[in-house]
Amino acid sequence: MTEFSTRQIQAGYVPGTPQNTAVPPIYQTAAYEFASLADAADLFALRAAGNLYSRNASPTQQILEERIAALEGGASAVAVASGQAAVAVTLLALVGRGGHIVAATQLYGGTVDLLQETFDDFGIPVTFVDQDDPDAWRAAIRPETRVLFAESIANPIAQVLDIRAVADIAQDAGVPLVIDNTVGTPYLVRPGEHGADFVVHSATKFLSGHGTSLGGVVVDQGTFDFGREPARWPHFTEPYARVGDFTLWDRFGSGQAFAALVKSKYVHDLGPSLSPFNAWQILQGIETLDLRVARQTATALAIARHLQAHPAVATVHHPGLEGNRWHPLAQRYLPRGGPSVFSFDLAVPLDAETQGSVARVVDSLQVIRLVANIGDARSMVNHPASMTHSHLTAEQRAAAGISLTTIRLSAGLEDPVDLIADLDRALTLV
């Protein structure tokens, strides 16, 4: 199974359960019956692998985990209830006690909320840096830094990260790089091939593609060696007190120890488990990932080119356009095409009328819907300044490249002719 489209349909599932179902079944059960007390004890002590209780995992979830790991070229994966949960448990597992995080300022708004408010409440320090400034990444690293975090393609401005440059900085510092590849998708870019050690996704978006289910996943690429500087990673390299007298690094090793820690500690304790039904829904979506993303990518570029020539549009932020600041990085990292989530700024003055002009355009769209989501089969717009990025301060919004006139578009699977006509109709109202 070497090719992407074969993996997205088959990885992780071998028909052969007693019912011979061709499609992975939904194992909708909270718990599992043990063969014997001895077997149960082995499972609880992590001496054996198997089904225990669905807070830890369900068989449907495990198929999803194997499939996404296969698509990202990773060693293992952990699926959880949402992208937000995937980011949270990943960072918590890496920072441990006393660790520090360096993160890009261009992150998703929900991640910014998590890092600068909830993690701050927990006493976990985070330094935000401009992701395009390698010196800023280097300067932010402290002895207690335990992780660097950024998105492969940010939104709404669709900045493309120089993954390799940040990965090299992480490697020099002896810490892992975590990349949120939600907008990138493993079809367009696999951050592990460019030096990222962990990849997280909101599976709610492109992996699902149908907009029915929340889910998140973290993939361990199996590249980060927690045993090289054991004193930095005591939660991997000291005895794992809750289950026995062994270390996770010795017991599970590279590519598996992280998943074991995330499941047996962070998901176990905090409880953001993925429901078997949602795992199954996401599996259905993944089977058509390449077809959808290829089509959405082409549609988005066609719309971006059209808007670029439109008098009511001041700027189009799409890295597939020549002249875009991230076009060279897009050519390097996105050979199959650019993101289908991008944005454009309306050509209206910034004054008391701005919000009204934006609202007239957004509210008059008929084919494209006003929805705070991306990666769906439906095309959607969002006004970041009053919706997804409304928690950011004006300075943070400016640093993320978002203006009061910025409209984000997530191109869906409708015919581009209808989408462009819809935009043209709405833009007459600017």
Ligand X SMILES: *Cc1c(COP(=O)(O)O)cnc(C)c1O
Answer whether 341's CB lies under 8 Å from 408's CB: yes
Query: Considering just the CA atoms, what is the radius of gyration of the chain in Å?
Result: 22
In the complex, minimum distance from the CB of residue 96 to ligand X, in angstroms, rounded to a whole number: 22
Asked, as a colleague might, if the bond just before 239 is cis with ω within 30 of 0, I would say no
Q: How many CA atoms lie within 13 A of 173 on its CB side?
A: 25
CB of 174 to ligand X, least distance (A): 26
Calpha distance 135→112 (Å, rounded): 21
Nearest 10 degrees: Cα torsion 93, 94, 100, 103:
-100
Shortest distance (Å) from residue 274 CB to ligand X: 11
Minimum distance from CB of 214 to ligand X (Å)? 5
> Least distance (Å) from ligand X to the CB of residue 153?
9
Nearer to ligand X, 76 or 90 (CB): 90
Nearest-approach distance from CB 152 to ligand X, in angstroms: 9
Question: Among residues 57 and 214, whose Cβ is nearest to ligand X?
Answer: 214
Contact residues for 202 (Cβ-Cβ < 8 A; gap 6+)? 82, 83, 84, 86, 180, 182, 215, 216
Q: Rounded to 5 degrees, what are φ and ψ at 329? A: -70, -35
Tell me whether residue 83 or residue 222 sits nearer to ligand X (CB atom): 83
Q: How far is the CB of 242 from ligand X (least distance, A)?
A: 27
DSSP for 357-415, please give it: HHHHHHHH-SSSEE-S--SSSS-EEE-TTTTTTTTS-HHHHHHTT--TTEEEEE--SS-
Instruction: Indicate the residue among 83 and 412 with the shorter CB distance to ligand X.
Output: 83
What gap in Å lies between CA 6 and CA 4, rounded to an integer? 5
- 216/338 with CB nearer ligand X: 216
Give the count of beta carbons closer than 10 Å to the beta carbon of residue 385. 21
Cα-based distances in Å from 126 to 115, 117, 140, 142, 179: 7, 10, 10, 11, 16
CB of 179 to ligand X, least distance (A): 10
- C-beta of 183: minimal distance to ligand X in Å? 6
Task: Please tell me the distance from the alpha carbon of residue 278 to that of residue 204, in angstroms, as a whole number.
Answer: 9
Q: How far is CA 235 from CA 79, 92, 96, 122, 393, in A?
A: 21, 11, 7, 18, 36
CB nearer to ligand X: pick between 205 and 318: 205
Tokens of 83: 């992208």
φ and ψ of 346, to 5 deg: -70, 145
Residue 401: both structure tokens together: 């490249």
- CB nearer ligand X, residue 74 or residue 83: 83
Minimum distance of ligand X from residue 375's CB (angstroms): 8
Q: Name the residue number minimizing CB distance to ligand X.
A: 83
Q: Which residues bind ligand X (CB under 6 A)?
A: 82-84, 87, 108, 110-111, 151, 180, 182-183, 202, 204-205, 214, 216, 374
Which has the closest alpha carbon to 146: 73, 72, 203, 197? Answer: 197
Residue number, 182 or 237, with CB nearest to ligand X = 182
CB closer to ligand X, 237 vs 382 = 382
Task: Using the minimum distance from each CB to ligand X, give the nearer residue, 202 or 357.
Answer: 202
Q: Which two tokens stand for residue 197?
A: 């050690």
DSSP-derived letter for residue 262 is I
